[in-house]
Amino acid sequence: MDMQKPVRVRFAPSPTGFIHVGNVRTALFNWLWAGRLGGTFMLRIEDTDAERSEARYEEQLMEDLRWLGLDWNEGVGRGGDCGPYRQSDRYGIYREYARRLLDEDKAYRCFCSAEELDAVRQEQAAKKETPLYSGKCRHLPQGEVDEKLRAGAPFTLRLRVRPGTVGFDDLVFGRVEIATSMVSDPVLLRSDGSPTYNFCCVIDDALMRITHVIRGDGHLPNTHRQVLAYEALGFAPPRFAHLSTILGPDGQKLSKRHGATSIEEFRRRGYLPEALVNYLALLGWSPATDGEEIFSADEIKAQFDLGRVVKSPAVFDPAKLDWMNRTYINKTPGEVLAKTARPYFEEAGLVADADADPDPAATDAWLGRVIDLVKTHVDHLDQLPAASGVVYGFADAAGGETAVPPEAPLALEDAARAALAPPEARAVAEEFARLAYGRERLDSESYREMLGGVKAATKQKGRNLYHPIRAALTGRDSGPDLERLIAVYEDGARLGLPRKVASCKERLRAFLAML
Ligand code: GLU
């Protein structure tokens, strides 16, 4: 590699659908490579498929990239000196180069109809031959060409593939070389004059001074055609790095069948962008040091090396991603998570919509404390409301369920009832309640004082002291730290939320009355 040349890479999605795990891994590896080498990461929109390209997909993919933190420093939405960066805005450029290739006889007009080409393909398939263009129009006499043009016969423009071999040194796959006899003369312009991906891509990568093309290995066959196009155009090809296909846990190509695959969906379900970035970086790449798997984007950037990308297919394991997301959720403070998680609580009717909330900041702060109490139970943030039953007084959701049960009176779980059955336990709970009823305000500090009082009065300590108090306050026999929970109950009750949070005294009265 020419180390003098500043590194310039691009992510070049086609806006024909939501971007999925595979596209984002490609974007990420480009972003990491540019970041590692202090280069430029460009966003180019490849919308030559006018029928399937839609502006909303373009907007969505930019939003996805921004959300993931994969900021680009040149391209669509950013500008730069190699624009325009949307291929549909560059048709004049492609036509000019097509004209040049035609004039130099490096490209030729092909008048074969789609039916004709199809018939040949079928014949080849029947004989189990590689489908290849017959070369019928390669050497049409000029007179015949002129005649067809006069008659208005439609034609495509094809690149004249030279004899010999074509190859490149892929940074992941190593030397890749094939005989050009195995390559059909690529179509550069379709019969409606629109340019094809292989043509636009080469011209753009050359004019945009791209140094490394990092993309999915599904493009390997295109790369041969593109290298031939570079030659014909007189451009030096960039370096190539093809990334292996991503498979599902069953070894099949990753698809919808394997669950969420679009970034939009991961975002909707409350995956954290830093967890996704961390997980996707490890799909095909690994750091030189073994063991550690949790890295920030900057840490990955500092050690990312295309030379350590493997060509064997990477397996996308949703369970591992969940583990990673959980890890990130647990290391992120609740008050930070509350900002992203609040809409899930709003949707479940547990807190007011922010714009209808008289004190949204107070709600956020309280929600952050709720989240800190229950977050160890979730894989993604959309599971948080259903995991907050200990605060709101509903039963825990089973197995990742996100629905919250309808509002109902407080219920004493059987295990809590059993915990309060022995007379000594009940005495502890009743003494605690008596002290609580006598206080104006309950908080963590008064809780500690009351504990001391109950201990002195009942002579109970340790589990015999805490367990009955927990049962009488929460209606459960296990759960998060009581001291913090008590303050969350009290503040939640004061906030007057759309879904009622019972105060400590209300809880004690209700539960003790059920014994
Ligand atoms: N538009 C192509 C795709 O989305 C880009 C391939 C490339 O990076 O050259 O697959």
- Give pLDDT tens digits for 24-36: 999 999 999 999 9
Residues 238 and 253 occupy one common structural domain: no
324 part of a folded domain: no
pLDDT greater than 70 at residue 3: no
Helix segments in 41-109, DSSP class H: 55-68, 91-103
The structure tokens listed for 345 are 């609580």
Q: Which of 402, 370, 366 is nearest to 269 (CA)?
A: 402
Q: Point out the ligand 1 atom lying closest to the alpha carbon of residue 214.
A: 8
113 part of a folded domain: yes
pLDDT greater than 90 at residue 364: yes
The reported pLDDT for the residue numbered 257 is 84
326 part of a folded domain: no
Residues 299 and 235 occupy one common structural domain: no
Name the helix (H) or strand (E) containing 174.
strand 174-179
Residues 254 and 238 occupy one common structural domain: no
Residues 35 and 65 occupy one common structural domain: yes
DSSP-based three-state secondary structure for 416 = helix
3-state helix/strand/coil string of 291-351: CCCCCCHHHHHHHCCHHHECCCCEECCHHHHHHHHHHHHHHCCHHHHHHHHHHHHHHCCCC
Residues 370 and 349 occupy one common structural domain: yes
Residues 268 and 281 occupy one common structural domain: yes
CA angle 257, 262, 268 (to 5 degrees): 110
Residues 95 and 238 occupy one common structural domain: yes
Write out residues with Cβ below 6 Å of ligand 1.
12-14, 46, 201, 215, 219
- Ligand 1, atom 3, residue with closest C-alpha: 13
| Global confidence as pTM | 0.93
Q: Which domain holds residue 373?
A: 333-408
pLDDT greater than 80 at residue 4: no
- Which residues, 6+ apart, have CB-to-CB distance to 428 below 8 Å? 454, 458, 460, 464, 465, 468, 469
What mean pLDDT do residues 351-378 have?
Answer: 96
Q: Is the dihedral of CA 173, 124, 226, 13 positive or negative?
A: negative
Structural domain ending residue among the three candidates 288, 318, 348: 318
> Which residues are known catalytic residues?
256
User: Cα–Cα distance between 180 and 177 in angstroms, integer?
Assistant: 9
Query: If 0-12 CB within 10 Å is exposed, 13-18 middle and 19+ buried, where does residue 96 land?
Result: exposed
289 pLDDT band, cuts 50/70/90, is confident
- DSSP, residue by residue, 227-259: HHHHHHHTPPP-EEEEEPPEE-TTSSBP-GGGS
DSSP-based three-state secondary structure for 369 = helix
3 part of a folded domain: no
CATH code, domain carrying 460:
1.10.10.350
363 part of a folded domain: yes
Distance from the alpha carbon of residue 221 to the mean position of ligand 1, in angstroms:
13
- Give pLDDT tens digits for 224-271: 999 999 999 999 999 999 999 999 999 998 888 888 789 999 999 999
pLDDT greater than 70 at residue 2: no
Distance from the alpha carbon of residue 101 to the mean position of ligand 1, in angstroms:
23
pLDDT greater than 80 at residue 399: no
279 pLDDT band, cuts 50/70/90, is very high
325 part of a folded domain: no
447 part of a folded domain: yes
Between the CA of residue 260 and those of 162, 243, 326, 391, 487, what are the distances in Å? 44, 21, 17, 30, 37
- How high does pLDDT run on average in the chain? 96
Structural domain ending residue among the three candidates 283, 318, 353: 318
Residues 401 and 424 occupy one common structural domain: no
- Give pLDDT tens digits for 430-449: 999 999 999 998 998 999 99
Domain count, the chain: 4
Contact 26, 69 (CB under 8 A): no
Q: Point out the ligand 1 atom lying closest to the alpha carbon of residue 205.
A: 9
501 part of a folded domain: yes
Q: Does residue 304 come out as left (phi exceeding 0), alpha (psi in the -120 to 50 range) or beta?
A: beta
351 pLDDT band, cuts 50/70/90, is very high
What mean pLDDT do residues 333-349 have?
Answer: 98
User: Cα–Cα distance between 1 and 239 in angstroms, integer?
Assistant: 8
Q: Which pairing describes strands 212-216 and 187-189: parallel, antiparallel, or unpaired?
A: unpaired
Residues 96 and 237 occupy one common structural domain: yes
Contact 163, 301 (CB under 8 A): no
Residues 265 and 351 occupy one common structural domain: no
Residues 128 and 69 occupy one common structural domain: no
- Ligand 1, atom 2, residue with closest C-alpha: 13
151 pLDDT band, cuts 50/70/90, is very high
Residues 117 and 234 occupy one common structural domain: yes
CA atoms within 13 A on the CB side of 481: 13
Indicate the DSSP class of residue 195.
Answer: B
DSSP-assigned beta bridge partners for residue 9 = 41, 212
Q: Point out the ligand 1 atom lying closest to the alpha carbon of residue 13.
A: 4
Structural domain ending residue among the three candidates 261, 286, 318: 318
CATH code, domain carrying 289:
3.40.50.620
